[in-house]
Structure 1
């Protein structure tokens, strides 16, 4: 497995990450964007393991890295829909629809921060369906239907 050098985002800070999420999700305040980011990254941290988890933490600003690294890995992988439901359960007043928006708003900002190669590696270890949450087309269903 070859690892591409990290994109030139070394100067991205936690504040810049939160602002990117705020803009992506059209959140009215920085505080709301920060709450959503913390919730989604903590949930993601339970499902990314191994080298991908380490590389993800290294690629993110310090506060985000700590959120990922502080999580205990899950014993079973959740489908993308169950992952969204998990985020909803961690967010007071959330529905599946609002949680999906939140998850997509956070995860959709990650490819620009950490690079497509790492996103591809992360998606390879997650069940089908997560690609859409990262803002990618989910072509795995197409390739399975051709087999």
Structure 2
């Protein structure tokens, strides 16, 4: 398992988010991964970080501490609050673009374990609805 290269990761986020520049994709990735890192602990957070370019891995591994787990709607609102000029609608787009690239980079078993740490319905933010 080799981590995604910086350019490849940002290119995928930029394409999925339809951002006009790699800088916009990077801004979204930094915010979303910092918030995600606050919700994950232990082995799963470390394993997920191993799939990411080093800078983004460090953001995931050294997050702000969350006072409480955010459900998907509050996660999107928190993203909007951290991205200048964002609305809840644009933040939902940002979250989906970043988390879908993360989910595609990681293996299925890891994603199942990550989703077990998160509140219900987070699977939809990753673009991977949970199989029932």
TM class by shorter chain equals: over 0.9
Unmatched segments (≥5 aa) in structure 1? 1-5
How far the C-alpha of 1:74 sits from its partner, in A, is 1.8
Matched residue SS, 1:83: helix
Q: 1:116 and 1:73, CA in 2 relative to 1: closer, same or farther beyond 3 A?
A: farther
Deviations, residues 55-105 of structure 1 (Å, cap 9, x unaligned): 111221111111111214423111010001010110111111110000000
Inter-partner Cα distance in structure 2 for 1:34 and 1:70:
17
RMSD: 1.5
Matched residue SS, 2:50: helix
- Higher CA-based Rg: 1
Q: How many residue pairs are counted as aligned between the two chains?
A: 132
Match of 2:36 in 1: 44
8 Å Cα contact 2:44/2:114 also seen in 1: yes
Q: 1:117 and 1:73, CA in 2 relative to 1: closer, same or farther beyond 3 A?
A: farther
